[in-house]
């Protein structure tokens, strides 16, 4: 699974906007994505990937992220 797919999976499963650190924790706990060096995915890598795929993700208040097709009022 690619990292942006893992992020989308975590958000879809939880059904709510989440911070990059919350997303990273969930991705690592579930083992959805493995880095080449086998280290856990840090939250800054989650943020970088989200910003690369803004067609998939949207920003919510309090530095939280959700899926692009979610409503404004989550």
Instruction: Tell me the average pLDDT across 24-43.
Output: 97
pTM: 0.94
The fold for domain 3-67 equals Arc Repressor Mutant, subunit A (1.10.10)
3-state secondary structure of 73: coil
Q: Which segments of the chain does DSSP mark as H helices, in order? A: 3-14, 20-30, 43-52
What is the rounded average pLDDT for all residues in the chain?
96
pLDDT beyond 90 at 73 = no
**Displacement of CA 17 from its chain's centroid (Å):** 9
Element (H, E) at 12: helix 3-14
């Amino acid at each position: 699974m690619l990292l942006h797919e893992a992020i989308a999976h975590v958000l879809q499963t939880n059904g709510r906007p989440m911070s990059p650190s919350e997303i990273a924790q969930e991705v690592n706990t579930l083992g959805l994505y493995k880095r080449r060096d086998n280290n856990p995915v840090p939250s800054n890598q989650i943020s970088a990937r989200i910003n690369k795929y803004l067609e998939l993700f949207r920003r919510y208040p309090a530095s939280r992220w959700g899926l692009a097709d979610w409503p404004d009022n989550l």
